[in-house]
Amino acid sequence: MRKKFSLVHFFIVVCIFLLVVKNPCFVYAEGTKEKAVVFLLDVSGSMKSNDPNRYAIDSIAQFIYTLPSNFEIGFVAYNAEVCAEQILLKNAHRNEIMKVAETVQYTGYSNAGAGMMQAVEMLLDTSATEKAIVLLSDGECLMQDEDATKISYTAYQSATVQAKQNGIRIHVVGLGEEMEDIENSIFQAATKTGGGVYHSPHALDIQHSIDAILQEQFRIKQMTAAVIDAGEDAVKMEIDIPFAHASTVRVLLTSSSPIRDLTTNLNAEGVRQVNGERYSLIEIDNPKKDKMEFSFSGVSGNQIRMILIPEYWVTPKASVSYQDCVPDVPDALTYEREATITYTFHDMENNNIQLWTEDYFAHSKLSVEKAGNFEEGTLADGQLQTHETVTEHSESEVSFGFAEFPANILGSDTVKIVLEEPPALPIEEPDQFPYTIYVVLFLTIVLVIAAIIVFRLMKNKQPTVIPDDDGRPEPGKSSYVGRLNIYITRTASGYDISPLSYDLFRLPSTRVISMAEILESCGLKETFAGAGRIFISSGQGRSVILTNQSDCCIMKSGEILMKKKSYQLFAGAKVDIMFEDEISELTFQYRELKPSEMY
């Protein structure tokens, strides 16, 4: 038994690398997680003094247009009561929200309770997995009398409780002096529901608060592409968009002063431009180029910040390769199997497109979670690899965390992995094993031969067959130093063919080349009858020798060249050939090249 095993062991060691096989594993994708946000805006009269330039409205636009496509967004504005609202809308209809937001006027009391109730109710109706409210207010509840204020406050409190119970997080942006105290009742909603608290002393700072919410609370990945000192003159610039195959790239320009005359030049499947007073957003669907040209003008002394927000719809795929080796343990029954799991990420629409292969994503961090175990990995060439020792058949679901990934990821984030158990160590007779190998090898050879035959049959044109006795002249002894400029003046198919050139100087001096070979190497599909028997060889004195063994009519300098004769062609010589089919014609000119031109 011991001896038998050592023979087996020997063969295994020899063939160990042949056993590395790659098995595609079963993959399935889940739907994207839907998220919902309601922007709750205080439009009470006090806002008039805190935000006379209506920067808050611009910030809504900045907020809603920056959020990825899987967000449903609603809008509620309140003063003494809810004065404007827009139900939760999908990505394509976000402009409807702006239409409503732009109509609101800062007037009346502040009934934050009614506003919050409405916002929470709106979110209760949706099936989104993550829900949040962003409240922008410049003060606490304030109604016409104390009772009404108290009712409003109570409503606010109960709405907050309801929000917490339903997993709704409330982020509060306080504007102005009155909101300096982050302990006040309005901010309580944030602390109770685990939301963020932000304070903007001035209306101009709202932009920064919104920016912070997007990054800290919603984890929106963005890249600052440029910060430009604006001037009255138009600024023209080009930025890189290193997001190949991104579903959407949003380019957001923000400034504290108006952005004017924005024009863009880019290649993409679709483009949407939204211009506000102090921001502009360009939403690019499937950008086709990695560059984009801008021109715009601003106001002197102000800076314009340009942010890129990439968004990918992703389907992860995994493939597993195994490396089996014989274990050191003497009585082991199976191989020691090490699985290398390679995760790749593909465009959801077109699974053939592998994403993130660009340098920009190299070493980007991803977390992989499998059966409660977290592992962190980095991307290399768009791939993430993990290793695992396999002892038995297992099926597991792997999910990815993109928290530190520099792009916004939508689509599926899980993939199913099937790991096959290691094969049992062979116990067959040693002489049976090569037989299997031979069968495999034989089948492989048969397949290769069949593939070659099919490939040859599928080719339109037969390769130029050079018969042994085709009258090919003796090769010359001199080097080739020129080029043929070829002009197909007439073809059997009637197609026009662009001028061609063939570098003779690249040929060794011993090579005799036929016109058919020259035309074929120029990529011509047409057949020129008799071209296979017209030969060019190198001649003395920087010339070439033309030998005609065909029935083509060849003319040069006003005479017809005789068949089976050779003629010396010097620089500038022009030759006309009428081929045997009496339709096709070409003219070529032999150009001598100077040493510096032979490259």
Partner 1 sequence: MEIINQTNRTLLLDMINPDKMDLLTLVGDVKGLDSLSDDQMREINQYLECHSYEEMERKFEPTVWSFFDANSQSVRYTLERPENIPASMLTAINLNDYDSFFKTILTVMDSRKAQGLLNVEFHFEQLLEMISPKKVMEDIKLVRKEIQFNYKKYAALEDGDPAKLDLGDKLNLLFEDASKNYNNIMAMLPLAIEDIKTRLLLGNGGPENNGKGVVAGVLTMGDNGELKILEAPKEESTSLAVVDDEVTAGLVEVLADDYQSVNESPNDYVQNLVVRTFCPLTATTPTEIDVQTEVANYNSYLEFYRTSKDNFIKVVKPLVEKLLGIRMFFDQYKSKTKGMMPTLVIANISPEILAKSPNIPRLITYLNTTNSKNNFNDTIWYAIYPNLSWSQNVTNKIHRERFQGNVKKAGTDVYSMEALSTLLNVFKDYRVETFFSFENREETTFNAVAAEGIEKMIERCAPLIGKPYSEFAIPVLPNFTVLPKNKSGVVLDSRMHITDDNGVELSEAKEDIIRLWIEGVYIGGAYVAAGFRAACQCPEYLKNHFNMTKVRTDLELPGVRFDIEAGNHSLMAYTTMPKEITGFTNTIKTQINQKNFGWVFASENASQDGMAITNITVYKARNLLYDTEHSTYEPVYKTQVTTYIERILRYVTGDFKEDNIRDFFSNNPKSQKSKWLAKQDCINAIITEGDSLEYSINDMNGICELTLSFNGSPRNLEVQINRISGI
When asked if residue 286 is in the footprint of partner 1 (CB under 8 A), the reply is no
Stretch that binds partner 1, among 299-307, 318-326, 336-344, 581-589 (CB under 8 A): 581-589
Stretch that binds partner 1, among 191-199, 402-410, 460-468, 573-581 (CB under 8 A): 573-581
What are the backbone dihedrals phi and psi of residue 181, each rounded to the nearest 5 degrees, phi first? -80, 110
* 48: CB partners within 8 A, 6+ apart: 106, 107
When asked if residue 568 is in the footprint of partner 1 (CB under 8 A), the reply is no
Distance CA 54, CA 103 (A): 11
Query: Which residue number, 385 or 493, has a Cβ lying nearer to partner 1?
Result: 493
Query: For residue 405, which amino acid is it?
Result: F
Query: For residue 175, which amino acid is it?
Result: L
When asked if residue 270 is in the footprint of partner 1 (CB under 8 A), the reply is yes
**Residue 242 C-beta: closest distance to partner 1, Å:** 21
Distance CA 6, CA 301 (A): 83
Give the count of residues interacting with partner 1 (CB under 8 A): 40
How many Å separate Cα 256 from the centre of its chain? 33
**Residue 576 C-beta: closest distance to partner 1, Å:** 4
By the 8 A CB rule, do 520 and 486 touch? no
Question: Of 69, 49, 182, 73, which is closest to residue 134 (Cα–Cα)?
Answer: 73
Distance CA 175, CA 55 (A): 11
Among positions 197, 214, 410, 573, the unique one binding partner 1 when judged by CB under 8 A: 573
**Residue 291 C-beta: closest distance to partner 1, Å:** 11
Residue 592 is given by DSSP the state E
Residue 519 is given by DSSP the state H
Stretch that binds partner 1, among 87-95, 101-109, 260-268, 384-392 (CB under 8 A): 260-268
When asked if residue 208 is in the footprint of partner 1 (CB under 8 A), the reply is no
When asked if residue 594 is in the footprint of partner 1 (CB under 8 A), the reply is yes
When asked if residue 267 is in the footprint of partner 1 (CB under 8 A), the reply is yes
What are the backbone dihedrals phi and psi of residue 503, each rounded to the nearest 5 degrees, phi first? -80, 100
Among positions 199, 260, 370, 591, the unique one binding partner 1 when judged by CB under 8 A: 591
What is the secondary structure of 472-490 as a DSSP string? PPPPPSSPP-EEEEEEEEE
Stretch that binds partner 1, among 82-90, 165-173, 222-230, 264-272 (CB under 8 A): 264-272
Query: Which residue number, 24 or 572, has a Cβ lying nearer to partner 1?
Result: 572
When asked if residue 158 is in the footprint of partner 1 (CB under 8 A), the reply is no
Among positions 144, 265, 396, 510, the unique one binding partner 1 when judged by CB under 8 A: 265
When asked if residue 558 is in the footprint of partner 1 (CB under 8 A), the reply is yes
Among positions 129, 263, 378, 509, the unique one binding partner 1 when judged by CB under 8 A: 263
How many Å separate Cα 599 from the centre of its chain? 38
**Residue 557 C-beta: closest distance to partner 1, Å:** 5
Task: Dig out the tokens for 461 from the structure.
Answer: 């044109």
Query: Which residue number, 148 or 555, has a Cβ lying nearer to partner 1?
Result: 555
When asked if residue 232 is in the footprint of partner 1 (CB under 8 A), the reply is no
Query: For residue 436, which amino acid is it?
Result: T
Distance CA 291, CA 251 (A): 12
Query: Which residue number, 207 or 584, has a Cβ lying nearer to partner 1?
Result: 584
| Positions in 486-505 near partner 1 (CB under 8 A) | 487-490, 496-499, 501
When asked if residue 560 is in the footprint of partner 1 (CB under 8 A), the reply is yes
Query: Which residue number, 157 or 485, has a Cβ lying nearer to partner 1?
Result: 485
**Residue 558 C-beta: closest distance to partner 1, Å:** 5
Distance CA 89, CA 129 (A): 15
By the 8 A CB rule, do 171 and 184 touch? no
Among positions 87, 542, 566, 581, the unique one binding partner 1 when judged by CB under 8 A: 542
> Which segments of 125-264 does DSSP mark as H helices, in order?
146-165, 185-193, 206-212
Question: Of 217, 263, 260, 216, which is closest to residue 236 (Cα–Cα)?
Answer: 263
Length of the chain (residues): 599
When asked if residue 260 is in the footprint of partner 1 (CB under 8 A), the reply is no
Secondary structure class of 396 (helix, strand, coil): strand
Question: Of 564, 557, 536, 548, which is closest to residue 478 (Cα–Cα)?
Answer: 536
Query: Which residue number, 294 or 335, has a Cβ lying nearer to partner 1?
Result: 294
Stretch that binds partner 1, among 33-41, 124-132, 165-173, 259-267 (CB under 8 A): 259-267
When asked if residue 509 is in the footprint of partner 1 (CB under 8 A), the reply is no
* 79: CB partners within 8 A, 6+ apart: 42, 43, 44, 45, 106, 107, 108, 109, 110, 111
Residue 327 is given by DSSP the state -
Question: Of 96, 103, 136, 143, which is closest to residue 119 (Cα–Cα)?
Answer: 136
Distance CA 143, CA 147 (A): 8
Query: Which residue number, 414 or 566, has a Cβ lying nearer to partner 1?
Result: 566
Query: Which residue number, 269 or 470, has a Cβ lying nearer to partner 1?
Result: 269
**Residue 251 C-beta: closest distance to partner 1, Å:** 13
When asked if residue 589 is in the footprint of partner 1 (CB under 8 A), the reply is yes
Among positions 178, 576, 580, 581, the unique one binding partner 1 when judged by CB under 8 A: 576
Stretch that binds partner 1, among 87-95, 136-144, 418-426, 583-591 (CB under 8 A): 583-591
Q: Which residues bind partner 1 (CB under 8 A)?
A: 263-267, 270-271, 273, 485, 487-490, 496-499, 501, 542, 555-560, 571-574, 576, 578, 585, 587, 589, 591-592, 594-597
